[in-house]
Chains A and B, each alone.
Chain A
Amino acid sequence: MLLRYILKRILWMVPFLFAVSIVAFLLIQAPPGDYLTTYIAKLGESNEVLDQASIQNLRERFGLDQPLYVQYFKWVANLLQGDFGMSFEWRQPVSDLIWERMGLTVLLSFATLLFTWAVAFPIGVYSAVRKYSIGDYVATTLGFIGLATPNFLLALILMYIGVVHFGSDVGGLFSNEYKNAPWSLAKVGDLMQHLWLPMIVLGTSATASLIRIMRANLLDELNKPYVDTARAKGLSEFWLIMKYPVRVALNPFVSTIGWILPNLVSGAVVTAIVLSLPTAGPLMLQALLAQDMYLAGAFVLLLSSLTVVGMLISDILLVLLDPRVKYD
């Protein structure tokens, strides 16, 4: 039953992703002009002028002279074969550019998600069960500060502390010597050493909001009659709270995975630039600015897929957690 549900949901993803690819393509085409106009303008800034013939030549080479739908179908047809096209700006295949960055992005997102939950869950439960205690007030205050602090500011503060007080190199995800080195155990270790800072920076506001969500959810559940029933059975306070109200309060918590995944990728651009992280955000921003359509298109498509996958994961978890959610 559950397997059928998952299969069905995955099948539904196909037409959905197709629709997304159209929207993504149109979005990239939406700003006036194309990569060439941006390119020519850039050249113009350095007083180079291209003659009409070579512009036409370039236009043909990039396929920009063809009607939109032809460009789109070419793009999709190539996508299906795993070819994301060429990046105009980098003069490299898009797939070479994005896979490592996407990989690192997913790793960082996942680490941040774990961090967020590990911190938010116990604090959220604590502040609900001990409502209006000193601990609750402290958690609430810190939570609101966390919510209100812009990520990049936190990044700057932490970097400052890291550099000035610990003398460590905190930017990026790798030390200089590993930056362009091939993957090795040592490089993985180096990555781990660098991961914690962006993880904290990116996770703080999500943690803060999750604490608030958990607290509110649990407060709603704590006074439900089934909690009294459990208490009247003779369960100890700790177990009865963990087994019953927390379990029910988890539902909205799980739903958050769906939006946390894409949010971590697209919402973290500023932080990624400040911390000079080799993640997807900065590259995507650059590609959009330069109208580097195939690169940008690949990112938009991957982001959307990530959102869809995130929703799928959270829906599957919801079905597992709550029998009231129907399979069909």
Chain B
Amino acid sequence: MQGECPAGGTHQMNTPVIQIQDLNVGFSMRQGRVDVLHGISFDLHRGKTTCVVGESGSGKSVTARTILNMVPPPGVINGGRILFTPDGEETVDLTAMDPRGKQIRDIRGGRIGMIFQEPMSSLSPVHTIGNQIVEAIRLHRDVSKKDARQMAEEALRQVEIPTPEKALDRYAFEFSGGMRQRAMIAMALSCRPDVLIADEPTTALDVTTQAEILDLMAGLQRDLGMAIMFITHDMGVVAEIADEVVVMEKGHVVEKGDVHRIFDAPGHPYTRQLLGAVKRLEEPAAAKVRPAPDSGDILKVRDLQLHFEKREGFLQRVTDVTKAVDGISFDLRQGEALGIVGESGSGKTTVGRCIARVYDPQGGSVDYNGQDLIRAGKAELRDTRKQIRMIFQDPFASLNPRMTVKQLIAEPLIVNNVASGKALEARVAKLLTEVGLDPGMMERYPHAFSGGQRQRIVVARAIALEPKLVIADEPTSALDVSIRTQVLDLLLRLQAEMGLSFIFISHDMAVIRYFCDRVAVMFKGRIVEIGETEQIITDPQHPYTKALLSSVPISDPTQRGTRQRHRYQEPA
């Protein structure tokens, strides 16, 4: 294929390394072709980071894959082109290449590297990290296995993986999420590409890990000078790293420009909406109803303990003990929302499950209105479980796909003999209206609903028995940011109307700030700090809380670099 060079050799350094021009991608469906990208255009520049922002379904990921000519079937490129101008070489049209041909394969991984969202599943589970990086190097560089291994080790050192020579022979499942994402970056950068495409690389990570990965990428960009296309739905991340911003909605680029311009004077209503959703989460909700000052405690947790034991060998001796919950105590007042915040592995989810008695704690007491839940028998639990309900993170996984919405919501009512027949149907309809869904949709199956709507169904199911206490485990993490505030507002309204108490588990400080009266910060199975949310956020006392707060991205590009980030090191 003959390339073309519209700008001529001397101006080549000014030519964007990637030019996406009127790109159109359609999916052939049974009912005809459905376009998912409608003639989008934007450029990527050397040494610059371009953030592509949008919510799920906006076409960000498809755009990223189309640059590498990897449109997932049944998608086809049916218009426009993507021009690639590497240093000192001619411009080529990536979309015109054979998607299985040698030419595009040389560019993939060699000139344009890509990293993906899920560090868990983006590395092969059955090959060593070294094997996968060496493979990437040897595909594009004519070097011996030994030299390639040396280069792979160097690549791992560059992404700050400790003892890289040992890491080469480890498997992905032996690494934490952050380490895996580092290994992915090392692999993508092992051949010194001109462009790095990162598809939500930090979405699945903790804020502290996210902050580290963002710093790492910024540093590597300074050293290697590549163009980065960074896909995200998080405006905070955009403010932290972007030079240019491209806002996408439903397959259209609705706005693009310099990051400061976008944040200062957003032109398109959708951009304003995205920014607004982030800004709203930077302060407590206006509609918040504080618990009455004279309200009593609904829950008293004292010295809660749960250890997971690893048993090995013929005699099943205990070889290792993980203290998932290591002596937790707190009180929850009637009508209060208590946030539990911490990184993954801090034990925050386990605390919630101990209180709901999904797990059986080994020690301590949970006093619920005078009744100790830990020592409660089956019959008592049956009773309290009507009053204590849980909401889980993933609205896609927590609804049985083979049950209709009506069956799903009615289930707790039927199980507890609350209502049947016409009364049941009326009850379900009322619940749906309460969570803002049309009761006419009750015969549909969960797949017909969006993520936010599904979470509303989950909420409806949770409040069906008119509980007193709701334990919400990351209820908004799987949702887009604009949907997030809607669901939070719904919970706030229900809290006010029904006098609900909440235990709200999250890793997201912004969500906690918006929703919770008080917050407990957890680290390695213990509460390191607990107090009024505003006080903890504005004046944290414990060094871990400070470290956690320092990692939260600031959604203001002018504030970039003003904050010293650090990871909390436990005193020995």
By a beta-carbon cutoff of 8 Å, the part of chain A in contact with chain B is 224-226, 228-237, 243-244, 247-248, 321-324, 328
B116 within 8 A of A: yes
Q: Does B274 contact A (CB under 8 A)?
A: no
- The one of A224, A234, A237, A324 in contact with B109, judged by C-beta atoms closer than 8 angstroms, is A234
Minimum CB distance partner of B116 in chain A: A225
Q: How far is the CB of A16 from chain B (nearest CB, A)?
A: 14
Q: Please state if B118 and A225 are interface contacts (CB–CB under 8 Å).
A: yes
A328 vs B312: C-alpha distance when bound (angstroms): 8
Closest residue on chain A to residue B170 by CB atoms: A323
For this complex, into which size category does the number of interface residues on chain B fall? Answer: 35 or more
Partner of A236, one of B105, B107, B121, B123: B105
Interface hits, B85-111 → A, CB 8 Å: 100, 105-110
Interface: B77 (CB within 8 A): no
B303-335 interface bits toward A, Cβ cutoff 8 Å, 1 = contact, 0 = none: 000000000110000000000000000000000
What residues on B are CB-neighbors of A323 within 8 Å? 125-126, 128, 171, 173
A residues within 8 A CB of B108? 231-234
Task: Report the minimal beta-carbon distance from A184 to chain B, rounded to whole angstroms.
Answer: 46
Closest to A233 in B: B109
Take A248-B126, A324-B171 as given contacts and tell me if A234 and B121 are in contact as well, using a CB distance cutoff of 8 Å.
no
Chain A residues near B479: list those with CB within 8 A. none
Which of B133-141, B493-501, B517-525, B555-563 is near enough to bind chain A? B133-141
B106 touches A234 (CB 8 A): yes
A328–B109 CA distance with the chains assembled, in angstroms: 38
Instruction: Say whether B173 contacts A324, CB under 8 Å.
Output: yes
Q: Specify which of A230, A237, A248 lies most central, judged by the most chain B CB atoms within 10 Å of its CB.
A: A230
Task: Report the nearest B residue to A232, measured CB to CB.
Answer: B114
Minimum CB distance partner of A223 in chain B: B72
Residues A224 and B70 in contact in the complex (CB < 8 Å), given A233-B139, A234-B109, A236-B105: no
User: What chain A residues lie within 8 Å of B135 (beta carbons)?
Assistant: 233, 235
Majority-rule SS of B interface residues: mixed
**A229 B139 Cβ-Cβ under 8 A:** no
Q: Which residues of chain B come closer than 8 Å to A233, judged between CB atoms?
A: 108-109, 135-136, 139, 187
Q: Report B35-51 CB contacts with A as 1/0, cut-off 8 Å.
A: 00000000000000000
B417-460 vs A, CB cutoff 8 Å, 1 = contact: the mask equals 00000000000000000000000000000000000000000000
* Contact among A226, A231, A328 for B125, CB-based, below 8 A: A226
* Minimal beta-carbon separation of B209 from chain A (angstroms): 18
User: Closest A-chain residue to B174, C-beta based?
Assistant: A323
Q: Is B184 an interface residue (CB 8 A)?
A: yes
Cα distance A226–B184 in the bound complex, in angstroms: 10
Contact B126–A321 (Cβ < 8 Å): yes
Tell me whether A226 and B140 are in contact in the complex, defined as CB-CB below 8 angstroms, given that A231-B70, A236-B100 are known contacts: no
Q: Which residues of A contact B117 (CB under 8 A)?
A: 225
A236 to B122, CA, bound (A): 18
| Distance in Å: Cβ of A243 to nearest Cβ of chain B | 8
Given contacts A229-B116, A233-B139, A236-B100, contact A224 B106 (CB under 8 A): no
Residues of A within 8 A of B118 (CB): 225
15 CB < 8 A contacts A-B: A225-B116, A226-B124, A228-B116, A229-B122, A232-B113, A234-B139, A234-B140, A237-B100, A244-B124, A248-B126, A321-B126, A323-B128, A324-B171, A324-B173, A328-B312
Across the interface, B105 reaches (CB within 8 A) one of A224, A235, A248, A324, namely: A235
A228-B116, A229-B123 provided; 11 other pairs, C-beta below 8 A?
Answer: A225-B117, A225-B118, A228-B70, A229-B116, A233-B108, A234-B140, A236-B100, A247-B126, A324-B125, A324-B126, A328-B313
- Contacts A233-B136, A237-B100, A324-B173; A228 near B106 (Cβ below 8 A): no
How far does the alpha carbon of A232 sit from the alpha carbon of B117 in the complex, in Å? 14
Minimum C-beta distance from B82 to chain A (A): 15
Instruction: State whether A234 and B171 are in contact (beta carbons under 8 Å apart), knowing that A225-B121, A321-B126 are contacts in the complex.
Output: no
Residues of B within 8 A of A226 (CB): 121-125
Q: Is B366 an interface residue (CB 8 A)?
A: no
User: In the complex, A234→B127 CA distance in Å?
Assistant: 17
Residue of A nearest to B104 (CB): A234
Q: A229-B116, A324-B171, A324-B173 are in contact. Are A235 and B139 (CB under 8 A)?
A: yes
Contact B126 A234 (CB under 8 A): no
Bitwise, B176-187 to A at CB < 8 A (1) or not (0) is 000000001001
Residues on the A chain within 8 Å of B128, using CB: 323
Measured in the bound complex, the distance between the Cα atoms of B412 and A170 in whole Å is 65
| Total CB contacts across the A-B interface at under 8 A | 78
Interface membership of B247, Cβ < 8 A: no
Is the beta-carbon distance between A322 and B126 smaller than 8 angstroms? yes
CB distance from B184 to the nearest CB of A (A): 7
- Cβ of B65: which chain A residues have Cβ within 8 Å of it? 228
On chain B, the residues within 8 Å of A236 by CB distance are 100, 105
Contact residues in B for A321 (Cβ distance below 8 Å) = 126
Nearest residue, chain A, Cβ from B128: A323
* Chain B positions within 8 Å of A231 at CB level: 68, 70, 108
Chain B residues near A235 (CB-CB < 8 A): 105, 135, 139
- Which among B110, B136, B187 has the highest number of chain A CB atoms within 10 Å? B136
Q: Name the residue in A226, A232, A235, A322 with the highest tally of chain B Cβ atoms < 10 Å from its Cβ.
A: A232
User: In the complex, how many angstroms separate the beta carbon of B307 from the nearest chain A beta carbon?
Assistant: 21
Residues on A with beta carbons closer than 8 Å to the beta carbon of B171:
323-324
Shortest distance between the CB of B412 and any CB in chain A (Å):
33
Give the residue name and chain of the A residue nearest to B314 (CB).
A8
Cβ–Cβ < 8 Å partners of B188 in chain A:
232
- In the complex, the answer to whether B173 meets A234 with C-beta atoms within 8 Å is no
Q: Report whether A232 and B70 are in contact in the complex, using a CB–CB cutoff of 8 Å.
A: yes
Q: How far is the CB of B235 from chain A (nearest CB, A)?
A: 25
Residues of B within 8 A of A243 (CB): 127
Within 8 A of A (CB), among B215-250: none
Q: Which residues of A contact B126 (CB under 8 A)?
A: 247-248, 321-324
Q: What's the nearest-Cβ distance from chain A to residue B358, in Å?
A: 26
CB distance from A34 to the nearest CB of B (A): 40
Bound CA span A230–B170, Å: 18
Residues of A within 8 A of B105 (CB): 234-236
> Given A225-B118, A228-B116, A324-B173 in contact, is the A234-B124 Cβ separation under 8 Å?
no
Q: Which residue of chain A has its CB nearest to the CB of B65?
A: A228
Q: Which residues in B have their C-beta under 8 angstroms from that of A328?
A: 312-313
CB <8 Å contact, A248 and B125: yes
CB distance from A176 to the nearest CB of B (A): 51
Q: What is the CA–CA distance of A247 and B100 in the complex, to the nearest angstrom?
A: 21
In the complex, what's the smallest C-beta–C-beta distance from A227 to chain B, in angstroms? 9
Bound-state CA distance A195–B118 (Å) is 50
Chain A residues within an 8 Å CB radius of B107: 234
A232 contact from B106, B109, B127, Cβ within 8 A: B109
Interface centre among B106, B114, B122, B184, by most chain A C-beta atoms within 10 angstroms, is: B122
Instruction: Report the separation of the CA atoms of residues A149 and B107 in the bound assembly, to the nearest whole angstrom.
Output: 50
- Please give me the residue from chain B that is nearest to A8 by CB atom: B314
The residue that B110 contacts in the complex, of A224, A230, A234, A244, with Cβ under 8 A, is: A234
Asked if residues A228 and B122 are in contact (CB atoms below 8 Å), the reply is yes
Q: Which residues of B contact A230 (CB under 8 A)?
A: 124
A113 to nearest B CB, angstroms? 23
Return the 5 tightest CB-CB contacts between A and B, nearest first. A233-B109, A234-B109, A234-B108, A232-B114, A234-B105
Chain A residue at minimum C-beta to C-beta distance from B121: A225
Instruction: Give Cα A324 to B120, complex, Å.
Output: 14
In the assembled complex, the Cα of A248 lies from the Cα of B173 at a distance in Å of 14
